[in-house]
Structure 1
Amino acid sequence: MNMSEELAKQQKTRVNKLQKRLRRETGRAIEDFNMIEDGDKVMVCLSGGKDSFAMLDILMNLQRSAPISFELVAVNMDQKQPGFPEHVLPEYLSKLEVPFHIIERDTYSVVKELVPEGKTTCALCSRLRRGTLYGFAEEIGATKIALGHHRDDILETFFLNMFYGGKLKSMPPKLVSDDGRNMVIRPLAYAREKDIAAYAELREFPIIPCNLCGSQDGLQRQVIKEMLQDWDKHHPGRIETMFRSLRHVVPSHLVDTELFDFKSLERGYPHGITDQNSVANSQAASPVPEMIDILSL
């Protein structure tokens, strides 16, 4: 075996290893949160970034062996950013066995007109994109809208809300839109960004950078991302522990009076709770009655 054949073999092994890991984590997230059900039509939002490419790839892989039947439809929104390579995604998607749509909306001009120079554009851009995608999902009869956010995005959002918003709030793997008309899922909720990045590089996805917001300086999310990357580098395992904490919340040991009835606590009762029927019901439903899943809130 010559050098090139050996390198090709090593690369194939790495691709298979990463694919199995991402497939396992995606499958577990789908099962834990009941993201995809039999007969679902899942609209996979494809931005052109590594995360959405990986999500589509893994979902197509799972679809072939899943015990249930569901459809996948890839959808990209062309926001008319200057220099956006319009041909890349149609050419890539045409080679896949998946139906796709390209939505053309000039949200770029709207954002540039409404957002003052020097201000971040992410919030308005995201709101405009979300509204368009929600509406299109109804047009094509999609029952689920899949977004490519991963575990690191969820943690970043948690710290953003805590540091800048004063809330213990994150990005849920599954949610219903405010108007109740759309179900959003995040199948990569358990996947690590560095695994996705490595997989995207090995699979040679045609990545399209976001020139509208990705190059902005001083973004709060970027500050949080760098903080988490530094922790991951100097304190291995910390990221995993923090993510586990989002799934195991103890309301009685926080200070939210709406989440836990502190005023009614009395001595002489387990945990100070006088309504023992509530405690019994909680114990029957869960082996750890004090803990709830913050991602489902």
Structure 2
Amino acid sequence: MTTPIPKQKYNLDKLQKRLRRDVGKAIADFGMIEEGDRIMVCLSGGKDSYTMLEILLNLQHSAPVNFELIAVNLDQKQPGFPAHILPAYLEQLGVEYKIVTEDTYAIVKEKIPEGKTTCSLCSRLRRGILYRTATELGCTKIALGHHRDDILQTLFLNMFYGGKLKGMPPKLMSDDGKHIVIRPLAYCREKDIERFAIERKYPIIPCNLCGSQPNLQRQVIGEMLNDWDKKYPGRIETMFTAMQNVVPSHLNDASLFDFKGIQHGSEVVNGGDIAFDREEIPMQPMGWQPQDDENVAAIERLDVFEIK
């Protein structure tokens, strides 16, 4: 690896500080990591999981609690998968790791007709294997590399195709009720992760099974959000902020708010019904920062990992 020139090193330090801050804040906000945790870091060979592992390793040295990390990769026996890359990379880092080999590729190709998307079955098979592996390794948490953009994409996928206002939680119990799944990159922008991965020259391994499928619903949503981000800077940040400011009294789900209980004399909730008023929309989108972060000095002071 070539030695970065000063300007490159400055930009890399900026990115690392920003990602470290965002990961530390997510960990603190959602109580992702506790004393004595053994965390299984799911490493796919993509930019997101590489970044997650590096930032967690970085935080491990300064965190107020002690926790272990073990990197786990699932080799699904996809044709052409370079099985030597991750072991070599992890051994160079000196990280504890395990490569799990399961031929899910053959199962998916057998069960899914040609031309149909394979993501659903592949995801279920992969999830079950990772849960089993976490149990075998005595892990208390499973860390996945989904970032802020993935969370927003999931929100829109559920709205457009599933009829639900539902996203991807930063922390939740697994569907088998035995594991706690965490997403430390929940506050991280994909564009930051992308730039960081390029600067770090990670040995990226593409997923040939699902990445080559055209017209995936998630891909369509991703392109829509990227287009919005280019045309309306700050819109993505505002939408993500909205996911953290949910107002059940002003939605339509009677299971979340007691609409039937509203009677004459009831208290005014969250400003009441102001539908007839012209709402004031701020000119500056909430949560937006310039791409180059001119306020880097303020960011550098926020080196957080405050577990409560």
TM over 0.5: yes
The correspondence of residues 72-221 of structure 1 with structure 2, limited to 5 A, is 72-221=69-218
**Structure 2 residue matching 1:271: 3-state secondary structure:** coil
Offset, 1:97: 2.5
Number of equivalenced pairs = 269
| Structure 2 runs not aligned, ≥5 long | 271-308
CA distance in 1, matches of 2:243, 2:268: 22
Query: 1:186 corresponds to which letter in structure 2?
Result: R
Q: Secondary structure at the match of 1:92?
A: helix
* Alignment partner, residue 221 of structure 2: 224
TM-score (norm 2): 0.86
The reply on whether 1:267 has 2:285 as its aligned counterpart is: no
Mapped pair 1:8 → 2:5: yes
Q: How far is 1:271 from its partner? A: 2.7
- Find the counterpart in structure 2 of residue 240 from structure 1: 237
Once the two structures are TM-superposed, the CA of residue 260 in structure 1 deviates from its matched residue by: 1.2
Q: Work out the percentage of aligned pairs sharing the same amino acid.
A: 67
Q: Which has the higher helix share?
A: 1
Query: 1:244 and 1:156 mapped to 2: Cα distance?
Result: 14
Q: CA deviation at 1:178?
A: 2.3
Q: Is the 8 A contact 1:147 1:186 kept in 2?
A: yes
Q: Determine helix, strand or coil for the equivalent of 2:134.
A: helix
Give the equivalent residue in structure 2 for 1:293: none
CA distance in 2, matches of 1:67, 1:272: 39
Which fold has the larger relative contact order, with Cα–Cα distance below 8 Å and residues 6 or more apart in sequence?
2
Local SS of the residue matching 1:133? helix
Q: What is the CA distance between 1:11 and its match in structure 2? A: 1.4
Task: Find the counterpart in structure 1 of residue 26 from structure 2.
Answer: 29
Distance 1:272 1:85 in 2: 57
**1:146-188 CA deviation, whole Å, 9 max, x = no partner?**
0000000000000000000000000000010122100000000
Q: Give the aligned partner of residue 45 of structure 1.
A: 42
Contact in 1 for aligned 2:15/2:192 (Cα 8 Å):
yes
Find the aligned partners of 1:68 and 1:202 in 2 and give their Cα distance.
29
Q: Residue 12 of structure 1: CA displacement? A: 1.1
Name the counterpart of 1:64: 61
For the Cα contact (< 8 Å) 2:38–2:140, is it kept in 1? yes
TM-score by length of 1: 0.89
Letter in structure 1 aligned against 2:66: S
Q: For 1:238 and 1:183, locate their aligned partners in 2 and report how far apart those are by CA, in whole Å.
A: 31
Are 1:256 and 2:257 counterparts?
no
Stretches of structure 1 that go unaligned for 5 or more consecutive residues are 274-297
After TM superposition, the structure 1 stretch with the greater mean CA deviation from structure 2, 216-225 or 7-16, is 7-16
Contact residue 265 and residue 272 of structure 1 kept, 8 A? no
Distance 2:268 2:109 in 1: 55
Please, what is the CA RMSD of the aligned residues?
Answer: 1.3
Report SS of the residue matched to 1:128. helix
Cα deviation digits, residues 31-54 of structure 1 (max 9, x gap): 000000010000000000000000
Partner AA of 1:66 in structure 2: A
Q: Would the aligned equivalents of 1:266 and 1:272 in 2 still touch at CA under 8 Å?
A: no
**Residue 272 of structure 1: CA displacement?**
7.0
Residues 43-72 of structure 1 deviation map (CA, whole Å, 9 limit, x = unaligned) = 000000000000000000000111110000
Answer yes or no: is the 8 Å Cα contact 2:174–2:180 preserved in 1.
yes
- Superposition deviation, residue 257 in structure 1: 1.2
Which stretches of structure 1, 4 residues or longer, exceed 4 Å deviation after superposition?
A: none
Determine helix, strand or coil for the equivalent of 1:126.
helix
